[in-house]
Every structure is written in structure tokens, then in C-alpha cells.
Structure 1
Amino acid sequence: MESTTVTLTVPGNDLMSDLVGESDVLLRRVEGAFPGSEIHVRGNRITIDGQHAATVRRVFDEVVALLQSGLHVDERTLDRAIDMVKADERPSEVLTTEILRSARGRPVRPRSVGQKRYVEAMTDGIITFAIGPAGTGKSWLAVAMAVRALQAGQVDRIVLTRPLVEAGERVGFLPGDLMAKVDPYLRPLYDALFDMVEAESAQRLLDRGMVEVAPLAFMRGRTLNNSFIILDEAQNTTPEQMKMFLTRVGFGSRVVVTGDISQVDVPDGRSGL
């Protein structure tokens, strides 16, 4: 692969400053991601030498587009952008997709190509399955999409549910009434909800029944119309529970099923997911 030289002119001093980062930290990070590349800056012009010059130019073009969209680009965001460009993806199309504003006013966005496709699947599909390891944003993005659908009037309520798996303690021997016993198992769903909606607003939605958080067993015998339904930790359902859940879906409803098939805790190991 022959060495080439390409140039890029950045519009505006402020944009150039954000592009290279404080003490050129972002510039050097791009250089380090493409061994053998040399990047030189003079005024608003960037010159790139090396075998990967064209790809580095694409990285800078994409980061400029991100900055022009109002997105703050730090080292983590830059790393994501570099990975996407190497995979022939467009960071400016992925990282600027805003689902909603969180309770703290921060934009909730997909952070990878996979998350962008997940959001698109939830937007276009009636039933979406998301299978992946913990920490990949499956439940968090699903709750964000549910809140957006409720705020837009696309659904009348949100239903968040999980199978109740006893890990080490028998639920019947735990202190408190039924809801006190199962509340710790459902707490991650509450946490995701309160990330998206201010505490007072979330509590009003819960009190009015517009958001329901309940164990999967509570879904039996019901038909859920005009609802955004999320089944979390679905790897811990039995095949019978999964069939029961999917047959609860009524008219105008959307369903997201999330789980990690590497963490199955059902007693006989037979997962409904």
C-alpha cells in the first residue's frame, strides 16, 4: 500500500480547536490509531501523510460533522468514531441520532452501529429481540424508546416486566408483603425509568398506571393493548413463560425482549429465550 498525502481545510478556528483537542490530544489519538500516519496542522489546514491518509481524512470529516451537529467529542467519542470509520460506517449518522432527553436534560443516543440498528428495529418492528452481554444498553435503550413512544402518544402505557428468579434466597422467606419481596428484582427497571423521566413525573406515571413494573407472573391472563412492553432478563424465562408472555400482546402494542443467553439461571437450564 503506497504512502499518499491528503489535505483537509477546517472551517473556523473554534471548530479546529475542538477537532484537535486540548494540547492536540485528539489529534495525537487519531495518529496513534493509524500507525505510520503523520498529521500536520498549519492554520486551518490539516495535512495527512501515510498509507492510511484517506481513511484518516474520513475520520476528520466525520468528527467535523459531529462537532457541527453540536455533539461534544471527547476521547471516548473519538474512539467510537475511529472504530466506525474502520468498519466503513458513518459516525455522523449513528452518534447524532437522538431518542430523547434524559431526566437530567442529556441527549440519549445510540453509541454504536449495533445500538443504532437496535433503535431502528424497535422503531420499525412490532416485536424486537435483543440478545447480548450485560452493559450493552439493551434495557436502557428499550426504556428510552418506550418513554419516547408514550410521550409521543403512540402508546397509552409502558409495561416493564422481568421473570422472578430466586438466586440463593427463597422469595417466600423474605420479609415484607408481596411487592416488598419482588421489588429488589425489579429495581433495575425502575432505575432505567428514573434515568429517562424526572422522579416526580415518573411517580405520577406509576400512580396513574401509565407505567407498570411487575413480575412476569403478573402478566398471565391479561391482554395488553396499546402498550410498549419490555421483557427484561428473558433468558431466565421457561419456554412456557415465554409463550405465555408473547400471547399477551394485543392491538397497537410493541414488544422488546432483552436477555443474555450466557447467564441462564432457570433451574433446569431450559431458557425460553
Structure 2
Amino acid sequence: MRRPGGSDSDRTLVATRAGGPGGSPPRTASRPEARWLDTPDDAPSQIVLAFDDNRLASLLFGHYGQNLALVERRLEIVAEQRGNHVTLEGQREACDQARHVLETLYARLKKGGEIAPGDVEGVLREAASQGFLFDFDPATKKQSFDEIQLRRRPVRARTAAQDAYIRALKRHTLVFGVGPAGTGKTWLAVAYAVHLLERRVVDKIILSRPAVEAGERLGFLPGDMKEKVDPYLRPIYDALHDLMDRAFVERAMTSGEIEIAPLAFMRGRTLANACVILDEAQNTTSMQMKMFLTRLGENSHMIVTGDPSQIDLPPGQTSGLAEAVALLSHVEGVEVCHFAAADVVRHELVGRIVAAYDGKAASARARAEARANEVAGAVEAPPR
């Protein structure tokens, strides 16, 4: 098959999951058969992939082909689907990376897993970090991005920053996750806490968050203490219900294995045999952060997450998160993981929104520094 308007120098790879070309008997290898014509590396390329399970192929391509469309946009190729076949056209390295993505996701489906657009994005980023992957074999290749094993399903890192975050959680007692919204800081922290609880490494999970309104005055909330703080902890509840069975979450909260502890009520406690998560830590004061960090007890893990660009403290109040990161980044046993707009794993528009706001903040800082330099220069200039 040739690209429309292409030349005879076009490079073509034919691959199939069911068997070799020309109706040959099915192959036992998990990889499709592949063959490239001897043409220049920068020549246009074409790959034809055929998957033997129509149901899994449909899940792989996504609803109305949305997964294929995402691969097309990210790698700037053309992906044409016909039944359980897909033809990839574009530059050779881009086609190889697209093939890597589809092979990885198909192998995950064959093992009984599920895929979502976010998983496609994660494998795309993994492929980009690994470079040229013509010899990729999903059956034997070790995952380059780390993962957290849960009873319900494994949680895999989708970006290099998330991979470093998961590895830090496994190695260090106190981990700070600092970065913009949508990078998975809280979700992965809850996943790791659930992992520790399921394996009885810890006896309980303690979830805390400062009760600071995001620029609004909500007034006094009705109900008991749990009902008062529930609105502030809703993102953590959502993560728990996504990672654990809802009935188990309710039982664990009733038995105290999962505890909601308002930050103001943490003073005086020693948190032993627990995984403690402090979310939205940018809204803690210096005194609150010191109080929280000194609650750490024997066999405990502590995870602190926050976004320094969304501080809701009164003007002039120093954020406890910024101070703690500056003071503790080089302390043994403490790890600080930074996320950026490129690590956003929510809707792709969120990453562009974060980048736009970051650009505005950087411009403001540059103007402020320029004005400060002008003032300093005027002061230092000798009088005439």
C-alpha cells in the first residue's frame, strides 16, 4: 500500500497479530512480523498492523477512534482504521513510536487491563522518553515507568515526573509533591497510601487538609466535624473511591483505618504506623507546617502535596509549603518532587492553561527584576 502521491521510495512495514503475510500459519511470537524496505531513513513510512481479537482492537482504537486520533495528533502521523487493521503513515521514527504505543496498550488489554485516553497519553510520553523503539517487544520489555500495585488495578506513572514521584515515595519517609493542578500529586499519594494499607505495611491512612476558602467566604458550615471538613477533602475522597471498592472505603472509615483529621486538630498527636497525607499544603502557615511535620512517628510515611501558584492565605502570610521545601530539600530522608505544566495529565487544555498562567507570572517577575535593577543603578550612579 502506498501513500497517496507517494513515490516508490516510500518505506512500508507490514505487521499482523494473527500470522505472517500471505496467509502463512499463525506465529507463536507475540510481536508482529516486520520488514522494512531499504530506503533512506527520512523517507515517508507506512506500517500496517492487524490485531487478532476484534473486541480488543475496538477497545484499543477507542470510542469513535479517539485513541487513534490522540496518537495522530501527538506524533503527527496519519492513522487509518479498517476493522481490526490500522495503517500508520508518516516519518519512520514517529511510526515506530505509534507502533510501540499500540503494541503496549494491546498487550495491556490482553492481560485483562483497561485503557483510557490518559493511559494513551502516558504511553506516548514513555515512548518519547525512550526514543527509537523499532525492536520493542511488549511481552519481554520491562516497564520504564514505575507503578503502584493495588488490589483493584495497577497505577502506572504517565510522565517522567510521576515516575520520579513514585520512586521517591517508595524510597523516602517524607516526600513533597510540588506543582500545578492536574499533575497527579494527590492521586498518586492516595494510591501509595492505599498500597501500604492493603499490604499491612501501615495500620491506617490519615488524610488532612487546611480548611482555607479559595477566595470565597463560605460562612459556618452545618453538621458535625466530619461534615464540616468533607467539602475540603472531596478530591481525596474521589481518589479513594477510584482506587478502592466503595464498600471497603466506608468500612475502613468506620473502623478508623482511614481517618479524616483536620489540620487544626493534629497538634499533640504522634502518628505511628500510618501513612499521612497533607493536601493543599500551600495554604498552611509556617507554624502549621512545622507542627504537622513533627507529628511523624515510628513506621510512618508522610506525603505533602501543594501548588505554590494557588496560595489562598491572607496577603503577607508566608506559605508553610514554600518554607519547608526550601529548608528540608537537602535533609536526609526527605525528597522534593517538582511537577510542571508539561506533566499535567488531565485534559490536554489544562496543561496549556497552566503554561499560560506560568508565562504571565514569569513576565511579571522579569519586569519586577528589571525595575529593581533600574532603581539600584540609579542609586549607585555618582551625582553629577
TM-score (norm 2): 0.58
Which of 54, 60, 65 is residue 93 of structure 2 equivalent to?
54
Q: 1:69 to 1:260 in 2, by over 3 A?
A: same
Instruction: Give the counterpart of 1:81 among 116, 123, 138.
Output: 123
Distance 1:179 1:39, change over 3 A: closer
- Determine which of 160, 173, 179 is the counterpart of 2:207: 160
8 Å CA contact retained: 1:55, 1:85: no
Name structure 1 gaps, 5 residues minimum: none
User: Could you list the per-position Cα deviations for residues 158-210 of structure 1 after superposition, in whole angstroms to 9, with x for gaps in the alignment?
Assistant: 11001121453376x44344444333223332332233333332222122221
Matched, 1:213 2:260: yes
Where 1:264 maps in the other structure, the secondary structure is coil
Matched AA of 1:100:
L
Q: Is the contact between residue 236 and residue 271 of structure 1 (CA under 8 Å) also seen in structure 2?
A: yes
Query: 2:17 is matched with which residue?
Result: 11
Letter in 1 for 2:248: S
Higher relative contact order (CA 8 A, sep 6+): 1
Q: Where does the alignment leave 5 or more consecutive residues of structure 2 unmatched?
A: 1-8, 19-49, 322-384
2:241 counterpart letter in structure 1: F
SS in 2 for 1:69: helix
CA distance in 2, matches of 1:24, 1:153: 42
Q: Deviations over 1:77-116 (max 9, x none)?
A: 44443343234368962679453254xxx55433333323
User: CA, structure 1 residues 76+135, in 2 after alignment: closer, same or farther (shift >3 Å)?
Assistant: closer
TM-score using structure 1 length: 0.78
Q: How many residues align?
A: 265
Q: Structure 2 vs 1, CA of residues 4 and 26 (structure 1 numbering), >3 Å: closer, same or farther?
A: farther
**In the alignment, what sits opposite 2:320?**
272
Q: Match of 2:108?
A: 69
Distance 1:179 1:190 in 2: 12
Partner of 2:229: 182
1:254 partner letter:
H
Q: Does 1:130 align with 2:177?
A: yes
Give 1:7 deviation, angstroms. 2.5
Residues 96, 41 of structure 1: alpha-carbon distance in 2 compared, 3 angstrom cutoff: farther
1:189, 1:213 within 8 Å by CA — same for their partners in 2? Answer: no
Range with greater deviation from structure 2 (113-122 or 257-266): 113-122
Tell me: CA distance 1:79–1:224, structure 2 relative to 1, closer, same or farther (3 Å).
closer
| Matched residue type, 1:56 | C
Query: Is the 2:147–2:156 contact (alpha carbons within 8 Å) kept by the matching residues of 1?
Result: yes
CA distance in 1, matches of 2:124, 2:104: 14
When residues 198 and 234 of structure 1 are mapped into structure 2, their CA distance, relative to the original with a 3 A threshold, is: same
Are the equivalent residues in 2 in contact too, given 1:101–1:108 (CA < 8 A)? no
Q: CA RMSD in A?
A: 3.7
Match of 2:378 in 1: none
Q: Is residue 2:149 matched to residue 1:99? A: yes
The answer on whether the counterparts of 1:138 and 1:258 sit within 8 Å (CA) in structure 2 is yes
Is 1:110 paired with 2:157?
A: yes
Alpha-carbon distance between aligned partners in 2 of 1:203 and 1:24, rounded to the nearest angstrom: 37
Q: Tell me if structure 1 keeps the 8 A contact 2:51–2:85.
A: no
Bigger Cα displacement from structure 2, 216-225 vs 65-74: 65-74
1:39 CA displacement: 7.4
Distance 1:116 1:201 in 2: 28
- Aligned residue number for residue 379 of structure 2: none
| Contact 1:8–1:46 (Cα < 8 Å) also in 2 | no
**What is the CA-CA distance between 1:66 and the residue it aligns to?**
2.9
Q: Which has the larger radius of gyration?
A: 2
Same amino acid, percent of matched pairs: 41
Task: State the secondary structure of the residue aligned to 1:135.
Answer: coil
C-alpha contact (below 8 Å) 2:148/2:154 kept by paired residues: yes
Shift of 1:141: 1.7
Q: Which secondary structure does the structure 1 equivalent of 2:231 belong to?
A: helix
Preserved CA contact (<8 Å) 2:121 2:158:
no
C-alpha spacing 1:239/1:41, structure 2 compared with 1 (3 Å)? closer
